[in-house]
Chains A and B, each alone.
Chain A
Amino acid sequence: MVKDQEFLKSKASYCLDLAKKMGATDASVKVGHSISETVNFRNKLLEASDRSDGLGLNIETYLGKRRSSISSSNLLDENIKTLIEKCFETTKITPEDEFNSLPNKNLLAKQISNLNLYDETRFENEKKIKYLKDLEESASSNNQIINTESSFTENKSNFILANSDGFCEGYKTSSFTASCVTVAKDEGSMERDYEFSSKRHLSDIKEATDLGNKAATQTIRKLKPNKIGSEKISIIFDKRISKGMLNVFASAISASAVARGTSFLKDKIDQQVFTKSINIIDKPDIIKGMGSQNFDSEGVNSNTLQLIENGILKNYLVDTYNGKKLNLQSNGRSGGTTNLYFENGNISYEDLIKKNSRILYITETIGHGSNLVTGDYSVGATGFLVEDGEFKYPVNEITIAGNFKDMFKNIILANDLEFEYSVNSPTMMIEGMTVAGK
């Protein structure tokens, strides 16, 4: 069982009291406990089981405008004492920084609503094994599939965040994740693909057979890939890739990147950065949401934010420290976005893939080719060539490149948004990108 709130609270107040006693002017502490159990299968047989049980502690001590932090997994009182002493000694010789402070008291979360983020159902390893057997049975039913690897992870966590201004809150969360990776082979090629499902509640996890089937189908259709020539072409990003654009956007509007001047979206508030039809929202209070939270990593209350309205940038993601630098109030986004999504576009998926006679449909990208300072983008990609709405053949060993500033202004979204993960996007088309191939 995960440790209860009382245990975590007692550790947190022990830390705060001690820090205060040593002379810290302010302090904040996070204590967390997490238990997770994973079962792995390969080719329809048990391959591994893994249980982890971890406590963690993070303390920040302040002396006026000086701050430093420590973290540890050892929660024995004696060890905590040594560490806080060390932390406070470090704080004393760390230079002052005028922007260092606890969050504004008035912004701290006052009400903790129940977002239904915890499912206490215990899914015994025996049941995980049964699920994975069914999954791999369906994943390997086609004889082109030569290897299947799958896993089921159950996680239960609890935490308390407390600070010397009297904030002391936390709650339990759970997650259940099933995933499957399959390898398909024919005479000339070998390909890999995957499918997964991750939910707060066990009952929302995809059926084992559906998951296995989907992984296998997605893998087999990648066999016998071709390389295409270098050209300018319209690109469709499958949903599992299009949400990556939101991650880039979120990094570029983080107050830290903006304050440091290292973002291509610096000073763009109230300006058009996406095409007019685009709206981007970050909503922390979705029931059972994978990214839902009552407050951010500093305890600041988080409300729904419209980040992009009709293509115009409305908000940065602001935490206390960088907010002070930018003269902005924290909007509860220390630690980043919550449930981030593009609103639906107004064209169906079917119409989108027919929109141009020749389209490159991307299902996977590899590499870290996003430059947030310049907005330049260049990654390796695999996918399909689509002609007149029909998937013609798989494509690999190509790269796609452009600049986010242009790409964002050429986005067309389908109307097929689903809330599966903490970041969600409809299928996306971007016109006029460069493909490098043969």
Chain B
Amino acid sequence: MSNFFNKSDLTRQDADKIVSETLKNCDDGELYLEESKSESILLDDNKIKSSNYSSDLGFGFRAISNEVIAYSYSNEISKESLNNSSENLKSTLKSIKGTYNHEIPKSNKKFYEDINPIEQKTLDSKLEVLNKVNNFLRNKDGSVKQVTASFAGEQKSIEIIRSGGEVLTDVRPLIRFNVSVMLEKNGRKETGVYGIGGRKSYDDYLKNDNWKNVCEEAFRIASVNLESKPAPAGEMKVVLGPGWPAILIHEAIGHGLEGDFNRKKTSAFHNLMGQKVASEGVTIVDDGTIDNRRGSLTIDDEGTPTERTVLIENGILKNFMQDRHNARLMKTRSTGSGRRENYRHIVLPRMRNTMMLSGNQTQDEMIKSVDKGIFAVSFGGGQVDITSGKFVFNCTEAYEINNGKIGSPIKGATLIGDGPSILKEVSMVGNDMMLDPGIGTCGKAGQGVPVGVAQPSILIDKMTVGGTKL
């Protein structure tokens, strides 16, 4: 646990006093202190290309009255700096009065250990794994022309001081291991990427030579793509595989159910609460409480314990995801979804692990039911226009389906759909729900935060596939 006050002229008592005094006429706010240590080690082109260590320390001071948020941050924790921030907040909010809400729920549950993954494995042994990956892939097949492998590890300690002196803390470990391989055959080049990670130590993910499985998967994806044909263009049936393809849910539905867009009525979902937005059998939750998952949090960045929030239950829209600010203005409670990239940024309502729960059909049944369509197994990134509801994502592994049978692999294509209507096109929900391997980062308003997704196989009756073959 970091001690934010031992190397500063600012004492905890001073900080308490400044916080309480600054926030006395505000509706909400807090002092957020953060210390992060992170590393990234990259092997590329047969060499250790970079090894970077970074440490960051700072505070963000927030005051909220009515609809106005005043925010000030600095990477200097000192009396002078905190006082400057305090003056800055007070001058913004001088004419707006509020009543501070001291209530914040409590929980003793923790979803990960207080570890520092960077120090739990020596640099030498990390370099050794990266070199093994490089040799393994390059010896595996003559078509391997480029290998990139990386470790990223982080420990983030936060402390939240609220008006009245209440203190909330959390220590968050996070790691990621990634492999990318490029193959070249008959003049064609294709890449395959795979990664794993979460909130445990590197060795928890790498035991039993698990790095080999990551290599094999990246190699497999690249090999499939070497045989790929141009993708079809137009509307057709789409079967999505389980796990990571749930970024469809994240883009199509998730962002549109974040509290801020609905309070501002700029989300295509803002007037659909309690209505049917998905086919029967479709249930979607956003869960911050799964042990050691990339998107899990013991408390969110406002200090609220996270929870499992039901967003859509059997097709009906049940809840939005809320931080304290939007919850207060919408007269509801925070769902523990208030997150920020780091102390430089304001809190926004964000997703954690977004999951569509299993139904009772099989992937086989889905494929057999399709005359002409595609089967999408893995994706790159996605994006959504919250207001029009249109969203896209890019296939990185997909196949044609002809007459109920999986055919040739197809080139990476963008799929586009309409958020509020896409889940009504879901006609089968599989019994094979799977979590993603722990690789997602979600971007919103310039802030990236780690997230997870999960889903079973699903059949979508109509989606536009952005290929080149008419």
Name the contact of B71 in the complex, choosing from A49, A230, A368 (C-beta under 8 A). Answer: A49
Q: Does A69 contact B (CB under 8 A)?
A: yes
- Contact (A230, B190) CB under 8 Å given A47-B67, A146-B265, A191-B387: no
Of all chain B residues, which has the CB nearest A100?
B47
User: Are the C-beta atoms of B266 and A374 separated by less than 8 Å?
Assistant: no
Q: Does A350 contact B (CB under 8 A)?
A: no
- Contact (A379, B189) CB under 8 Å given A47-B68, A192-B387, A367-B383: no
Q: Does B146 contact A (CB under 8 A)?
A: yes
User: Are the C-beta atoms of A378 and B71 separated by less than 8 Å?
Assistant: no
Q: Does B58 contact A (CB under 8 A)?
A: yes
- Contact (A380, B416) CB under 8 Å given A72-B55, A90-B123: yes
- In the assembled complex, the CB of A232 is this many whole angstroms from the nearest CB of chain B, namely 7
User: Are the C-beta atoms of A90 and B53 separated by less than 8 Å?
Assistant: yes
User: Are the C-beta atoms of A401 and B414 separated by less than 8 Å?
Assistant: yes
- Contact (A192, B385) CB under 8 Å given A51-B71, A380-B414, A399-B414: yes
**Cα-based distance from A300 to B382 in the complex (angstroms):** 37
- In the assembled complex, the CB of A366 is this many whole angstroms from the nearest CB of chain B, namely 5
Q: Does B466 contact A (CB under 8 A)?
A: yes
Contact pattern, B 185-206, Cβ under 8 Å of A = 1, otherwise 0: 0001111000000000000000
Name the contact of B182 in the complex, choosing from A67, A190, A261 (C-beta under 8 A). Answer: A261
Q: Does B10 contact A (CB under 8 A)?
A: no
Residues of chain B within 8 A (CB-CB) of A70 are 52-55
Residues of chain B within 8 A (CB-CB) of A101 are none
- In the assembled complex, the CB of B9 is this many whole angstroms from the nearest CB of chain A, namely 12
**Cα-based distance from A366 to B384 in the complex (angstroms):** 7
**Cα-based distance from A400 to B265 in the complex (angstroms):** 30
- In the assembled complex, the CB of A262 is this many whole angstroms from the nearest CB of chain B, namely 6
Q: Does A422 contact B (CB under 8 A)?
A: no
Q: Does B75 contact A (CB under 8 A)?
A: yes
User: Are the C-beta atoms of A95 and B127 separated by less than 8 Å?
Assistant: yes
Q: Does A269 contact B (CB under 8 A)?
A: no
**Cα-based distance from A403 to B292 in the complex (angstroms):** 41
Residues of chain B within 8 A (CB-CB) of A438 are 234-235, 464
User: Are the C-beta atoms of A74 and B57 separated by less than 8 Å?
Assistant: yes
Name the contact of A434 in the complex, choosing from B68, B88, B411, B468 (C-beta under 8 A). Answer: B468
Residues of chain B within 8 A (CB-CB) of A191 are 387-388
User: Are the C-beta atoms of A380 and B392 separated by less than 8 Å?
Assistant: yes
- Contact (A401, B388) CB under 8 Å given A54-B74, A95-B48, A378-B394: no
User: Are the C-beta atoms of B390 and A380 separated by less than 8 Å?
Assistant: yes
Q: Does B213 contact A (CB under 8 A)?
A: no
Q: Does B405 contact A (CB under 8 A)?
A: no
Of all chain B residues, which has the CB nearest A403?
B468
- In the assembled complex, the CB of A76 is this many whole angstroms from the nearest CB of chain B, namely 7
- In the assembled complex, the CB of B309 is this many whole angstroms from the nearest CB of chain A, namely 25
- Contact (A192, B266) CB under 8 Å given A379-B466, A438-B234: yes
Residues of chain A within 8 A (CB-CB) of B55 are 70, 72-74, 79, 83
Q: Does A55 contact B (CB under 8 A)?
A: yes
Residues of chain A within 8 A (CB-CB) of B266 are 147, 183, 190, 192
User: Are the C-beta atoms of B387 and A51 separated by less than 8 Å?
Assistant: no
User: Are the C-beta atoms of B127 and A396 separated by less than 8 Å?
Assistant: no
User: Are the C-beta atoms of A190 and B387 separated by less than 8 Å?
Assistant: yes
Name the contact of A50 in the complex, choosing from B72, B380, B386 (C-beta under 8 A). Answer: B72
User: Are the C-beta atoms of B470 and A434 separated by less than 8 Å?
Assistant: yes
Q: Does A430 contact B (CB under 8 A)?
A: no
Name the contact of A398 in the complex, choosing from B413, B416, B469 (C-beta under 8 A). Answer: B416
Question: How many B residues have CB within 8 A of the partner chain?
Answer: 80
Question: How many A residues have CB within 8 A of the partner chain?
Answer: 75
Q: Does B166 contact A (CB under 8 A)?
A: no
Q: Does A164 contact B (CB under 8 A)?
A: no
**Cα-based distance from A259 to B81 in the complex (angstroms):** 46
**Cα-based distance from A385 to B234 in the complex (angstroms):** 18
Residues of chain A within 8 A (CB-CB) of B388 are 189-192, 225, 382, 396
- In the assembled complex, the CB of B155 is this many whole angstroms from the nearest CB of chain A, namely 15
**Cα-based distance from A225 to B346 in the complex (angstroms):** 34
Q: Does A122 contact B (CB under 8 A)?
A: no
User: Are the C-beta atoms of A48 and B466 separated by less than 8 Å?
Assistant: no
Residues of chain A within 8 A (CB-CB) of B92 are 46, 49, 125
Residues of chain B within 8 A (CB-CB) of A436 are 233-234, 416, 464-467
Q: Does B70 contact A (CB under 8 A)?
A: yes
Contact pattern, B 438-470, Cβ under 8 Å of A = 1, otherwise 0: 000000000000000000000000001111111
User: Are the C-beta atoms of A366 and B385 separated by less than 8 Å?
Assistant: yes
Of all chain B residues, which has the CB nearest A72?
B55
User: Are the C-beta atoms of A68 and B51 separated by less than 8 Å?
Assistant: yes
Q: Which of B165-182 contact A (CB under 8 A)?
A: 182
Residues of chain A within 8 A (CB-CB) of B367 are none
Residues of chain A within 8 A (CB-CB) of B190 are 373-374
Q: Which of A334-391 contact B (CB under 8 A)?
A: 366-369, 371, 373-374, 376, 378-380, 382
Q: Does B393 contact A (CB under 8 A)?
A: yes
User: Are the C-beta atoms of A401 and B466 separated by less than 8 Å?
Assistant: yes
User: Are the C-beta atoms of A147 and B264 separated by less than 8 Å?
Assistant: yes
**Cα-based distance from A52 to B190 in the complex (angstroms):** 43
Name the contact of A369 in the complex, choosing from B188, B386, B412 (C-beta under 8 A). Answer: B412
User: Are the C-beta atoms of A69 and B50 separated by less than 8 Å?
Assistant: yes
User: Are the C-beta atoms of B47 and A97 separated by less than 8 Å?
Assistant: yes
Q: Does B73 contact A (CB under 8 A)?
A: yes
User: Are the C-beta atoms of A434 and B73 separated by less than 8 Å?
Assistant: no
User: Are the C-beta atoms of B68 and A46 separated by less than 8 Å?
Assistant: yes
User: Are the C-beta atoms of A368 and B88 separated by less than 8 Å?
Assistant: no
Residues of chain B within 8 A (CB-CB) of A69 are 50-53
User: Are the C-beta atoms of B234 and A230 separated by less than 8 Å?
Assistant: yes
- Contact (A399, B466) CB under 8 Å given A72-B55, A87-B53, A376-B411: yes
Residues of chain B within 8 A (CB-CB) of A379 are 392, 414, 466
- In the assembled complex, the CB of B82 is this many whole angstroms from the nearest CB of chain A, namely 12
Residues of chain B within 8 A (CB-CB) of A231 are 470
- In the assembled complex, the CB of A413 is this many whole angstroms from the nearest CB of chain B, namely 23
Q: Does A93 contact B (CB under 8 A)?
A: yes
Q: Does B145 contact A (CB under 8 A)?
A: yes
Q: Which of A34-59 contact B (CB under 8 A)?
A: 42, 45-55
Q: Does A435 contact B (CB under 8 A)?
A: yes
- Contact (A373, B189) CB under 8 Å given A378-B394, A379-B414: yes
Q: Most B CB atoms within 10 A — which of A49, A125, A400?
A: A49
User: Are the C-beta atoms of A53 and B191 separated by less than 8 Å?
Assistant: no
User: Are the C-beta atoms of A51 and B381 separated by less than 8 Å?
Assistant: no
Q: Does B365 contact A (CB under 8 A)?
A: no
Q: Does A64 contact B (CB under 8 A)?
A: no
Name the contact of A53 in the complex, choosing from B70, B73, B91, B391 (C-beta under 8 A). Answer: B73
Q: Which of B55-104 contact A (CB under 8 A)?
A: 55-58, 67-76, 81, 85, 88, 91-92
User: Are the C-beta atoms of B67 and A45 separated by less than 8 Å?
Assistant: yes
User: Are the C-beta atoms of B417 and A397 separated by less than 8 Å?
Assistant: yes
Contact pattern, A 233-263, Cβ under 8 Å of B = 1, otherwise 0: 0000000000000000000000000011110
Residues of chain B within 8 A (CB-CB) of A97 are 47-49
User: Are the C-beta atoms of B418 and A397 separated by less than 8 Å?
Assistant: yes
User: Are the C-beta atoms of B127 and A93 separated by less than 8 Å?
Assistant: yes
* Residues of chain A at the chain B interface (Cβ within 8 Å): 42, 45-55, 67-74, 76, 78-79, 83, 86-87, 90, 93-95, 97, 125, 146-147, 149, 183, 189-192, 225, 227, 230-232, 259-262, 325, 366-369, 371, 373-374, 376, 378-380, 382, 396-403, 434-438
* Residues of chain B at the chain A interface (Cβ within 8 Å): 7, 44-45, 47-58, 67-76, 81, 85, 88, 91-92, 123-124, 127, 145-146, 182, 184, 188-191, 231, 233-235, 264-266, 268, 344, 346, 380-388, 390-394, 411-418, 464-470
12 A-B pairs with CB atoms under 8 Å apart are A45-B68, A47-B68, A49-B68, A49-B70, A50-B70, A93-B123, A230-B233, A231-B470, A367-B394, A373-B191, A378-B231, A434-B233
Known: A260-B44, A374-B188. 10 other contacts (CB 8 A): A69-B51, A83-B53, A86-B53, A227-B464, A369-B392, A369-B412, A373-B189, A378-B413, A382-B390, A434-B469
Please name the 7 residue pairs, one residue from A and one from B, whose CB atoms are nearest each other, closest first.
A399-B466, A436-B233, A380-B392, A367-B392, A192-B387, A73-B75, A230-B234
